[in-house]
Amino acid sequence: MSTPANFNGNAPVIDPNDAVMVLIDHQSGLFQTVGDMPMTELRERAAALATVATLAKLPVITTASVPQGPNGPLIPEIHQNAPHAQYVARKGEINAWDNPEFVEAIKATGRKTLIIAGTITSVCMAFPAISAVAEGYRVFTVIDASGTYSKMAQEITLARMLQAGVVPMDTAAVASELQKTWNREDALEWAEAYTHIFPAYRLLMESYSKAQDVVKNSEVLDSMR
């Protein structure tokens, strides 16, 4: 398998100061066609991306494919979690990059790194990701916050995007690269976001909190002896 000329095997990590969060077609109707992951998990991760983009102060661009039809409206959590998000209405274009207003909204940010998630992965997310790379953007796609018809469709799409120079990631990795450090005032808000990315993280937080309570109670008892 040949390596594409524009593939950068040493793609840098995401710089929050140069990144835009692009959330495409996370619509209630389209979610019903997803077969490569549980719909509830997909929905939670898409909403979590909006949250971490807000915490990291990233511009957020959203769009929907014929929301007045069977594809349905965008899930409300995205704009609830990212009130500053800019919604771009399309005129029927399947590839969002074919919509001039969508491309202009991204260009207006002045940033050259795109973090893209979308449903359906093999179409709504892949098409604009590949188009953006062709126009000189660095593109990271969030696979577990995008959904498609089957695991096979997901794997084929991953192969195609890798050939085009798109870098695949998962939601937790994106959040961690944007967060950078736990030594920040909003650390608890980031921790809460992780509980929506993988719910088991809440168990970790609860077990730590319980352990801390045990230590404090032990110290109190020691001081009373």
Catalytic residues: 124
CA–CA separation, 211 vs 163, rounded Å? Answer: 48
SS3 assignment, position 119: strand
Residue type, 184: R
- Coil, helix or strand for 11? coil
131 touches 93 (CB < 8 A) = no
Three-state SS at 143: helix
Tokens of 203: 């168990």
Alpha-carbon distance of 160 to 140, in angstroms, equals 14
**Residue 190's closest CA among 213, 169, 211, 174?**
174
Closest CA to 134 of 29, 3, 42, 6: 6
Report helix, strand or coil for 128. Answer: helix
Q: Check if the beta carbon of residue 11 is closer than 8 Å to that of residue 167.
A: yes
Listed residue (42, 79, 48, 83) closest to 63, CA to CA? 79
Cα distance from N-terminal residue to C-terminal residue, the chain: 72
